[in-house]
Chain A
Amino acid sequence: MSKRMVLLGNEAIARGIVEAGCEVAVAYPGTPSSEILPAVAKYADELGTRTAVEWGVNEKVAFEVAAAASFAGKRSCAIMKQVGVNVAADALMSVAYFDLAGGFVLVAADDPGPHSSQTEQDSRSFAQFAKIPCFDPSSAVEAKHMVFDAFDLSEQYHIPVMLRPAGRVNHCREDVELGAVRPGDHPAKFVKDVRRWVCLPAHVRLTHPQLNAKNDAIRQDFESRFGAYNYELAAKKPAKLGIVAGGVSFAIVQDLLASWGREDVAVLKIGTPVPLPEKMVMDFISRHDNVLILEETYPVIENQLPDRTKVKGRHNGFVPRAGELLPEVIEELVLRALGEPGVPGASPELKAALEELQIKPKPPMLCPGCPHRASFFAIRKAVPSGIYPSDIGCYTLGVNQRMVDSVICMGASVTQPSGFYLAHRVDGKEQPLVSTIGDSTFFHMGIPGLVNAVYNRHAFVLAILDNSITAMTGGQPNPNVGTKLRKGDVGARVDIEGAVRGCGVGHVEVVEAYDMASGEKAVKAAWEYAKAHQSPAVVIFRHPCMLLRCEQEKIRVRVDEERCVGCKFCINFFNCPALVFDEGKNKAVVDDRFCVQCGTCIPVCPHGAIVRVSEEA
């Protein structure tokens, strides 16, 4: 009783997770992985499985919760984006040594490009670092199959297994076959055994060699048993080029060769890059004089080759070492490897037209009506000479309002002001500092930094921009919201204000984010408190995310052309998609395509040119 549906790659992976009988699935949202867990909940509801489906407060938490479920014998998985693996790394490195009970799969979604990340790191390298096997799918359909094999392999060798889709697999849309839940019973049964579950150094002296032996055996398996993922597309004519490819690059190469109708290029597809089926790859290389390796984003296959003399790849600079291997990039690489003339580039006429018309890509901006925009504006007014560290989330786009000066990773908005504070204090200087962080990010990794700042007495203001959702990644709930994913599953809300006070912060004020006058006053008062008490102070700016489409008062606005002097202050410091500058008229105008009538821009104009449109008009 199979059925086909057009699914997002992430939905295909989710479907695989549920069909494979996974009973505990935990994730933290992050592009390009975010749609997997909600789809796990959807399919679990549809198929009536018992699967526990939860957002963890961060990736380390998600990984550990899922890992312990595996200790207890359950099939479990942890799902995150590539930089989330950095957060989970501490646990990953340890758990790799464990002799697991239930199958345990780590889904780590990479983002070559990057399209929505702060790094272009390759999670396959992490698999290698942790000494765990890794599957690298080339399509949504293959990713779903790999989920089954990843669970089976994990159970066979009692080892965590990584599934590493790159973003183009996560966000591809493809017709996928839906199946039923596979039979299998994995009752919860934790067998106590300190040598197995307690990572004492004495135990590691035994488990590390065991882990190495598992890797050797799995490598043998990948050489022989996984022909569905590692196979050669032989050339019909004598091959002028042999390509070793994995992930999306393999799919692109296939389409390219088919469209050219070329029969003189052989391709070796590698779907299990870690540990590399080395004999298979070296045998392929030995049969070709000219070899090109295509993989994203690090040279993981290439690094594992004992001899790279014949190989055109990243080590000899043939393949670009950064950026996505897009079809046109691969087209150029293949032709160059063949020693044939390249394809003509973009039309010079089109290029000239683009330049003359001054067409540039449109950068992302905070949505019209976004409460963060008003919060940033209030903070600038309160503390105009501040340093403004920030964090990972929609509010990183506050950079457009010149209100984001430094961002590292999740939670670092709370620790950076400590560093800025100390740097200035050792010089005997006072520097105003206002950091911004979102509600989900605060719970993710903001709390340890805040406890640290209270303990060490660092003076700064932390503005928590509470829009009651994890917005950037598509609107997932978090502890501040309290809802859960599966039907009938009830969560509990964790109060941010209480958590902040619990960290030892003595000054906390909550304001309505749209009310910029109150926001300004609150930030001023918080900075005064911080200075006086040599302690962090917190202002919580609260207003629901516009994507939640809550009912709110509609305030129509227009720009009064008489009063507008064309100073662009509103464009530069408020930066709303619905406020645009008409260069011809030298005036700001409201773009009705985007305006959501929130009215927050009215107090922004220093000349009073943004006015409310009266109802009778």
Chain B
Amino acid sequence: MKYIVAGIGGQGILFATKVLGHIALGKGLPVIGSEVHGMSQRGGSVISHFKIGDYQSPLIASGDADIFLAFDQSEALRNYHFLREGGQAVINVEHPAELAHPRLQDYFRQRRITLHALDGLGLIREHLGGKFLFLNVLILGALCGAGVGNFSRDEMRQAVGELAPARFREENLKGFDLGYGALAK
């Protein structure tokens, strides 16, 4: 399974892939991935590649990802090309009108891409006192809520609890549950 996670520096993308790695390793699955550190972390576009299974390289080619998580709508647009035909995307959306763009809709249709969109920032403003740092766990919750990927809600929730620093544990779990609830059917 190949994941691409995209967003802006400072949104906690590295923590999201850390959670995925933690669960996979616990199940004895080999993992490999690639992160961005350094200058790009300063508020610029950040992208993380993550693969579970028997792979040698940490990178995913354009058109080859199974799952795409995007913390930011513009970064989502710039990185949809990573998705394979029939791939699934979990997207934090701020401007829903943009998603309705006819060419974009054509693209989703032609490549049979399933989009799971949620207003993560709105949820955080309403329920988590505007602490946007928890967007990463919210997206992980949404991933489980949408039934995408190979990990169950319980596995993911437990991993978030284990990896979060003790003083932020409760809020991380709350963020996760918010995301789960937003997309669970």
CB distance from B34 to the nearest CB of A (A): 5
Residue pair B39, A173 in contact (C-beta under 8 Å):
no
Residue pair A173, B17 in contact (C-beta under 8 Å):
yes
Residue pair A349, B110 in contact (C-beta under 8 Å):
yes
**B101 (CB) vs chain A CBs: closest residue:** A353
> Could you say which residues of chain A place their CB within 8 Å of the CB of B75?
362
Residue pair B58, A361 in contact (C-beta under 8 Å):
no
**A34 (CB) vs chain B CBs: closest residue:** B37
Interface residues of A in 527-556 (CB under 8 A from B): none
Q: Which of A38-46, A126-134, A246-254, A426-434 contacts B (4 or more CB under 8 A)?
A: A246-254
Residue pair B50, A6 in contact (C-beta under 8 Å):
no
Residue pair B36, A175 in contact (C-beta under 8 Å):
no
> Could you say which residues of chain B place their CB within 8 Å of the CB of A367?
10, 42-43
Is B149 interfacial (CB 8 A cutoff)? no
Is A366 interfacial (CB 8 A cutoff)? yes
Q: Which of B24-32, B140-148, B165-173 contacts A (4 or more CB under 8 A)?
A: B24-32
Residue pair A472, B39 in contact (C-beta under 8 Å):
yes
Q: Which of A255, A356, A361 has the most CB of B within 10 A?
A: A255
**B58 (CB) vs chain A CBs: closest residue:** A172
Q: Which of B43, B62, B77, B130 has the most CB of A within 10 A?
A: B43
CB distance from B16 to the nearest CB of A (A): 12
Is A352 interfacial (CB 8 A cutoff)? yes
Residue pair A347, B110 in contact (C-beta under 8 Å):
yes
Q: Which of B21, B39, B50 has the most CB of A within 10 A?
A: B39
Residue pair A474, B37 in contact (C-beta under 8 Å):
yes
Q: How large is the interface on A (under 10, 10 to 19, 20 to 34, 35 or more residues)?
A: 35 or more
Tell me which of B50, B62, B78, B130 contacts A354 (CB under 8 A): B78
**B75 (CB) vs chain A CBs: closest residue:** A362
**B103 (CB) vs chain A CBs: closest residue:** A353
Residue pair B22, A327 in contact (C-beta under 8 Å):
no
Residue pair A352, B103 in contact (C-beta under 8 Å):
yes
CB distance from B133 to the nearest CB of A (A): 10
Known contacts A173-B31, A346-B81, A359-B78; is-contact A331 B40 (Cβ 8 Å): no
CB distance from B92 to the nearest CB of A (A): 11
Residue pair B44, A362 in contact (C-beta under 8 Å):
yes
Residue pair A4, B42 in contact (C-beta under 8 Å):
no
Residue pair A172, B33 in contact (C-beta under 8 Å):
yes
Cα distance, A137 to B151, chains bound together (Å) = 31
Tell me which of A31, A359, A472, A593 contacts B121 (CB under 8 A): A593
Q: Which of B22, B33, B121 has the most CB of A within 10 A?
A: B33
CB distance from A316 to the nearest CB of B (A): 25
Known contacts A172-B58, A394-B42; is-contact A362 B80 (Cβ 8 Å): no
Residue pair A255, B55 in contact (C-beta under 8 Å):
yes
Residue pair A174, B58 in contact (C-beta under 8 Å):
yes
Cα distance, A326 to B104, chains bound together (Å) = 25
Interface residues of A in 63-93 (CB under 8 A from B): none
> Could you say which residues of chain A place their CB within 8 Å of the CB of B62?
327-328, 346
> Could you say which residues of chain A place their CB within 8 Å of the CB of B18?
6, 173
Residue pair B44, A356 in contact (C-beta under 8 Å):
no
Tell me which of A139, A259, A331 contacts B32 (CB under 8 A): A139
**A250 (CB) vs chain B CBs: closest residue:** B56
Cα distance, A326 to B58, chains bound together (Å) = 11
Cα distance, A354 to B81, chains bound together (Å) = 11
> Could you say which residues of chain B place their CB within 8 Å of the CB of A357?
77, 98, 101, 104
Is A261 interfacial (CB 8 A cutoff)? no
> Could you say which residues of chain B place their CB within 8 Å of the CB of A349?
103-104, 106-107, 110
Residue pair A350, B104 in contact (C-beta under 8 Å):
yes
Residue pair B74, A359 in contact (C-beta under 8 Å):
yes
Interface code B47-77, partner A: CB below 8 Å = 1, 0 otherwise? 0001000011111111110000000001101
Task: List 28 A–B pairs whose Cβ atoms lie within 8 Å, in order of A's numbering.
Answer: A6-B22, A6-B25, A31-B37, A31-B38, A32-B38, A116-B40, A139-B56, A173-B32, A173-B35, A248-B57, A252-B59, A254-B57, A327-B57, A327-B64, A346-B81, A347-B110, A350-B103, A357-B98, A357-B101, A361-B44, A361-B78, A362-B44, A362-B75, A364-B42, A365-B43, A472-B42, A592-B125, A593-B132
- The residues of B with any CB-CB pair to A shorter than 8 Å are 8-10, 17-18, 21-22, 24-25, 30-45, 50, 55-64, 74-75, 77-78, 80-81, 98, 101, 103-104, 106-107, 110-111, 121, 125, 130, 132
Not counting A115-B36, A175-B21, a sample of 5 additional A-B residue pairs whose C-beta atoms are within 8 angstroms of each other reads: A171-B34, A171-B36, A252-B56, A347-B111, A349-B107
